[in-house]
Each structure stands twice: as structure tokens, then as C-alpha cells.
Structure 1
Amino acid sequence: MQDAYDVVIIGGAMTGSSAAFWLTRNPDFTGRVLVVERDPTYAWAATTHTNSCIRLQYGSEVNVRISRFAGDFIHQFKEYMQDDAAPDIVLQNFGYLYLANTPAFLDVLRDNAQMQRALGAETQILTPDEIAALFPFYNLDGILGGSFNTKDEGYFDGGTMFDWLRIKARAQGATFLTDTVTAISADNRITLASGRTISAGHIINAAGTRGAEVAAMAGLRIPIEARRRFTFIAEAARPLPVDLPLTIDPVGVHMRSDGRYYMIGCPPDLDVAVDPDDFTMDHAIWEDHVWPTIAARIPAFEELRLINTWVGHYDYNTLDQNAIIGPHPERRNFLFANGFSGHGLQQAPAVGRALSELVIYCATRTLDLGALGYERIASGTPLRERAII
């Protein structure tokens, strides 16, 4: 341990570990990296409670490009780790299927699909008959069409990716410290709960749902709050004949295959900010809302047995539900990596690389994430994203 580090990363989950990995991997960086993490078990981190999916079907170009790189990172994981012992990570391309029940949303899907295809996706706009031909188990009453893509869309083993980013960051020289940040001075001196004080050349705020709290310690503001998201694992008495794509129903429930089970997710009925330690499950929502909704869409799901449930958190950006990436304009050595609003796991490879470039070169070199910068937060100008889940 030192008393001064070139970069201190606050938060050691997926995004923080990715930044540490990319910094220590770059031969142009010769400084010291410290990752401060309050809970080394990561038991309540969003990384641990994720559904571990990736998609290209976003409504903004920057998010599509981020996921394009994530797909490449997954496919070439061993090469990026530069380690023969690293595992292959398989991307199970069951795809995402957005269902539209209004002409306006179907037009949004058409516009999105055109942009996504231009950036390398293979998104198709399907009629109800075409959806039924692929997936005859849906009840498509009221559905006017949908968008569907199976290129780099589906499930991947995010837990293994996270483990290896952390392992390699350590092996490459990053120091991981279990402690809690309690104060940040104007000159980047960080006070820890243990009583230690650390001087940082750069600070990266990767504190998840506590990101606004960390920013406030530095006298800065970001519109981030913790919001609960519910996940249910169920077994069907009559399994579907093919994999269930991650289906986004217009009523706000999504569902997909999960091995021989099915994973279903939704927000609470009252989607409001909660304490970062609040993981309270609404046990009534399954019977009252989720099960009736998915059984109406897929009649075979009238017979389901609930296997498991859990509550995760979004670090929810109340401005536009998009990440805030990069430096504060008046404090260039304080960088944000906050507000992913449920996209953090899939966006971590590209975001960690961008953060490392911003530290080393004062600019991104491989992928321009300027659209996600803090300036839009300061001006109150949201980045339009029309494919929110």
C-alpha cells in the first residue's frame, strides 16, 4: 500500500475492475492503480444480481457501438486476457424480441432497426405472422409487429468475465483495498473509513448505486438513484419447443430462456428511488402482475413453478437512463462511470477501455463516448434512447 496513487477507482465491481484491467494492460501507463471496494464479496453489487445479457437493439448509435465492442470482447476473450488459462466465454444468441402494440412504437422499432443494421446488427422487423412462424407459442393479440436480432444478442457468463478482469488487473499491478470512502477533498485527497488518507492523481467514480453519494463528496452532482428490479426463475410444466428470446412485452415485463428454466424480470409497480441497501422483494407482484402477464402472452406459461427470486438494483439515471462517462468539465481528473440503468455489465468492456484512454491520453482513441459525457447532465439535455428496458 502507498499513500499516493496515479488513479484511484472507487468501486471494484464490473466497471471498476474493467477500468483497472485496461489501465494496467496499457504499456503507455506506468502509474499505480488503487481500487477501493467496500464489500469484497460483491454480494449486493449490481454485477452479482445481473441477468447477464447483451443486446445491440438500442435506439442510439453510441450504445450500439458499445455493445458491438462487447460482443467482440466476448468472442475474443482469451486474446484480450493474453492468458492461455483464460476460458472461452460463450455468447448464447437467443436474441431479443421487442413487441409493438402501437403504430408509433412500431415506427420507432423500424427507425432503430435501420440504424442498428448500418452499424452491423442483423435486426429484422417482423409481422405478427412472421413472429408466429418462428415462435408459435405466443399469443399475439394486439401485437402489430416486432424487431428481432440474434447477432451478439443473448446471454453470456458475466460472472466469469468479472472474475478474470479482476484477476488480470491484480496480476498486472492494480491494488485492491477493502475500505469505504468517506470524503474527497478539492485536491483529490480521499479519506477512508479506516482513517487512512490517499492522494489520487485521477479519481474514477464507479460506485454503482452509491455514485451520486461519491460525487457529492467531491462537491459534484449526478442524477443517479438506486431503483429495484425483480427477477424470477420459473419452471414450465410444458417447456417451449425452442429457446425463448428475451421478449420485451409492451406491458413492461421481459422474459427469456435460462437453461431449462425461464427468467422473468420487471420493475416494481411503483418505480421510485430506494436506499442502496434496500433489496426488499414485492412477493405479491408475481401472482398479481407478472404471472398473469406472461401467461396471457404465452399460454403454456399458465403452468409454472416458481424456483427462485431475487432483487437487483439499477443505478438509474433520472435524466435519460444512459451512462455518464468521462470527466467533469471543471475537474478533469474526476471521471464518472455512473448511471448505467441496467446496461453496466454489457457496457463495461468498452467503458473501462474508454476510461483508461481518458486517463492516459486525455481523450478516447478507440471508441468515441462523448455522447455519454457529463456536459449533457450539466445542460439538462437528455440523450435520446428509445429502446429502454
Structure 2
Amino acid sequence: MSNPTADVVIIGGAVMGSSTACQLAQRPDFTGRIVVIEADPTYQTCASARSAASIRQQFSSPINIDISLFGIEYLRQIGTHLQTGQDRPAIDLHEGGYLFLATPDKEAILRENHVLQETHGANIGLFDQQELKSRFPWLNMQDLSAGCHGLTGEGWFDGYGLMQAFRKKARSLGVEYVSAEATRIAPSGSGWDITLSTGETLSAGILVNTAGAKGGAELCRQAGLDVPVRSKKRCVFTFECREKLTGFPLLIDPTGTYVRPEGNGYICGSAPPEDQDPDCDDFDVDHTLFENHIWPVLANRVPAFETIKPGPAWAGSYDMNLFDHNAFVGAVPGIGNFLLALGFSGHGLQQSPAVGRGLAELIVTGRYETLDLSPLGIERLAANTPLIEKNVV
């Protein structure tokens, strides 16, 4: 391709695409033109805007632990990393920690994961039943034997604010955003032609696909790659509790149901059973999930939640990787100058600093420099070697 429209075109301008564009533009050794194509410039329906927005190191795979250790340091310094002029963005990072609870039959897994997490430098406390009761007196401990709590480095933040901070910084560095849908991609010489919903055609030396489950999977198919990434609905419910519960973390019940503080109240949610989790493209809230499952579970675990005042609820989407619930990140072997970051399965916001950094490094140097993200490469799909993550929430 002799005269591409841009050196790099990124399809998908939410948190992953904007992180990549921003960190690529920040590199002193890259002076090319970057264009980001975003189908919904309002960001009303993107996963980044509808997420519960949290970060943890309590994973069972080393790469996910390392990515989040990088991420928390980045989020702590967000005002420095993404300052534009006199504007230092703030994302309300609250390091309240995750609290994973275990029944006796799951305690061995919890302890095994804890050893790995500590080995990689995560600050996670492992507590027996008595210690849990002392630290969290509002817990029903009857069926519990142990728990792990992120003492530092885990918590929640303003996910929409993070996305907008990446986007604003990227634009200040000359990154161009195009409001259109990328409807068609095709190889052109060593690069790519991209047809937009406006009828325009762009050309790119390098194409990066961060377009999420629906758009991203379709673009992969057009490039000759079938990825098992689908859009799954996740509902988030809010409520207020009459009793004040001090030191409340992001609690993960053994059932997988979660709850954490938000303002003067709480937000909560739970993944439906796999056989009741169809591909979805609407945002209708399933209130029966809260009434029949989430509230009973939470009221059992935290007796103070027996009396609550339900509040608003919303639905968003997970870009779910059905292969192993971990993202596909990096260059695609056999498809020239085509990179992707898809299928984050609910971990996209917390992983966006490290993945954006890694993709920028690949584009400029052809290798990872800061953190080796190769365990997330698409090669594991062809080899049928899933990256197993036991702590899927």
C-alpha cells in the first residue's frame, strides 16, 4: 500500500481502542497517523460504560495477575499518565479489595490461588473463619471456612471516566476519531481497506480490531478468522441498606454473586447459568434474577440485607470468549498487519492499561516490552490449549 489513509486504524473506540491509540500516540518513537473508528460516539451501549468497573489480582493464572498489577499502578497515577494541559483526570479509585469466600470444599483452591497471587506480588490476605468474623462481623459464617481479601491493589473506579480520559488524551495527541461503523475490511497489498457505513473507504498500514463481541467477531470473519466471542447480557442492580456496614469490600459469595458499595448504597449482580445465558443484543433488565437469586443469596450471606430498598438497575454486555473466558490479544499469525484485542469476558476495563500498552509496543517494535502478553495470543485457539482461569466472576 503506497499511500494509506493512516498508518494505524483502530476499529472500536471504547476503553480498549482508546487505550491503544493513546499509548501508541504517547510513544516518542511513533510519529504516524492514527485513526479510531467508533460506531457509537455517545458510548451509551458499550461495555465500558455499563460495567461495574473493578480491578483485582485474585486470579488463578499468572498473566491475569500480572496484567492487573500493572493496571492498578497505572490507575493510581492516572492523573499523571493522562493529563491534558491543566486537566488531570480522576477516576475515583477506591481500593476496598475483593473478598472471595470459600466453603470447605473450595478452600483448597482458594489457598492454592493465594500462593500464586502472593508469589507474583499481590497483597492478598488469607483468613480463616475466626479471622473473617473478626474483620467482617456482618457476615454469616455458617457455611464458610476461609476467605481471601485484597488488602491493597483491588477495588473499584469510574470506568466511563477511564475510557473518556484515554480518549481525551489520545485526541490531544492528534489521534483522529471517525464516527461511523466499519462495515467491511479487506486486505490491500500489505495493509487494509476499510469500508465505512458512510460510504467512505479508509486504508491502513496496520489494522487493530477492538470492536467488541458483535462487530469484532464479524470483522475477524471477514479477515478469515473465526473467533468464539459472543455478546452476553449482564444485569447490575442497586439497593440501599438501613444498617451501616463498615469496611465493606467487593464481596464474592461462593455462588458467584457479587456485591459492593456504591455511593450511599450497593450494586450487585450474578452471572446466569450457562444454559440460561443466550447471545443477546438488547438491554432489558431481568428483574427476576434479582428477586429469585441475587437478593436471597445476599440476604443469607449478609443478614442486614434482608431489609433493603431496591433502586435502579441496568443491563450491559460482556464480550464473552466462549473458548476459555480470557481475551485474545496480539497479532494474528498468517494475517498480515492485523491485531486484535477481543473477548475480555468482563475484565476489559481493568486490563485496558496493560493491553493498550502491549499493542502499542507490538505495533512499533514487533514485540512486547513492558509485559509479555503472549499467553493471550490467538495461537491457543488453533492449538486447542485454553488458558484456564478458575476465578471467573
Distance in 2 (CA, whole Å) between partners of 1:239 and 1:158 is 26
> Please, which moves more after superposition, 73-82 or 292-301?
73-82
SS in 2 for 1:255: strand
CA-CA distance at 1:79 after TM superposition: 2.2
The separation in 2 between residues aligned to 1:157 and 1:21, in whole angstroms, is 18
Paired with 1:137 and 1:36, the residues of 2 have a C-alpha distance of 48
Alpha-carbon distance change, 39 to 327 in structure 1, aligned in 2, over 3 angstroms: same
Map of 1:178 onto structure 2: 179
Match of 2:213 in 1: 209
Choose which of 168, 186, 194 in structure 1 pairs with 2:198.
Answer: 194
Alpha carbons 1:243, 1:257 under 8 Å: kept: no
Structure 1 Cα separation of the partners of residues 276 and 251 of structure 2: 21
Superposed CA offset, 1:326-373 (max 9, x none) = 011111411110010000001001100101111111111111000000
Aligned match of 1:380: 384
Contact kept? 1:182, 1:217, Cα under 8 Å: no
**Same amino acid, percent of matched pairs:** 41
Aligned partner of 1:358 among 328, 348, 362:
362
Deviation at 1:94, TM superposition (A): 1.1
Within 2, Cα distance between the matches of 1:300 and 1:334? 52
1:239-278 Cα deviation digits (max 9, x unpaired): 21x1321111111211111122011111234442323x32
Aligned counterpart, 1:7 = 8
Q: CA deviation at 1:82?
A: 4.8
Question: Within 2, Cα distance between the matches of 1:177 and 1:88?
Answer: 26
CA drift at 1:91: 2.5
Three-state SS of the structure 2 residue aligned to 1:186 is strand
Question: Do structure 1's residue 310 and structure 2's residue 314 form an aligned pair?
Answer: yes
Q: What is the CA distance between 1:379 and its match in structure 2?
A: 1.4
Does the Cα contact within 8 Å between 2:8 and 2:208 map onto a contact in 1? yes
Q: Distance in 2 between matches of 1:361 and 1:383?
A: 26
Where does structure 2 lack aligned partners over 5 or more consecutive residues?
none
Answer yes or no: is the 8 Å Cα contact 1:268–1:282 preserved in 2. no
> Which whole-Å deviations, capped at 9, do the CAs of 1:31-66 have from their partners, x for residues lacking one?
111100000000000000011111111111111111
| Change over 3 Å in CA distance of 1:268–1:281 after alignment to 2 | farther
Q: Distance in 2 between matches of 1:66 and 1:260?
A: 31
Q: Does 1:19 align with 2:23?
A: no
Q: Which residue in 2 is equivalent to 1:230?
A: 235
Q: 1:321 aligns with which of 313, 319, 325?
A: 325
TM-score, normalised to structure 2's length?
0.95
Instruction: Sort the Cα spacing of 1:258 and 1:13 in 2 relative to 1 into closer, same or farther, 3 A.
Output: same
- Equivalences for 1:281-360 in 2 at 5 Å? 281-360=285-364
What is the TM-score with the length of structure 1 in the denominator? 0.96
Give structure 1 stretches of 5+ with no counterpart.
none
Pair 44,82 (structure 1): closer, same or farther in 2 beyond 3 Å: closer
2:68 maps to what in 1? 67
Shift of residue 99, structure 1, vs aligned partner: 0.9
Shift of 1:120: 1.6
Q: Secondary structure at the match of 1:185?
A: strand
Equivalent AA in structure 2 for residue 43 of structure 1: Q
Equivalent position of 1:266 in the other structure:
270
Is the Cα–Cα contact under 8 Å of residues 77 and 88 in structure 1 kept in the other structure? yes
* Alignment correspondent of 2:258: 254
- Which of 186-195 and 23-32 deviates more? 186-195
Structure 2 letter corresponding to 1:45: C
On the 8 A contact 1:215/1:221 being kept in 2, the answer is yes
- What SS does the aligned partner of 2:291 have? helix
Amino acid at match of 1:64: I
CA–CA separation in structure 2 for the residues paired with 1:45 and 1:331: 27
SS class of match (1:256): strand
Work out whether residues 94 and 157 of structure 2, in 8 Å CA contact, stay in contact via their aligned partners in 1.
Answer: yes
Q: Is the 8 A contact 1:36 1:179 kept in 2?
A: yes
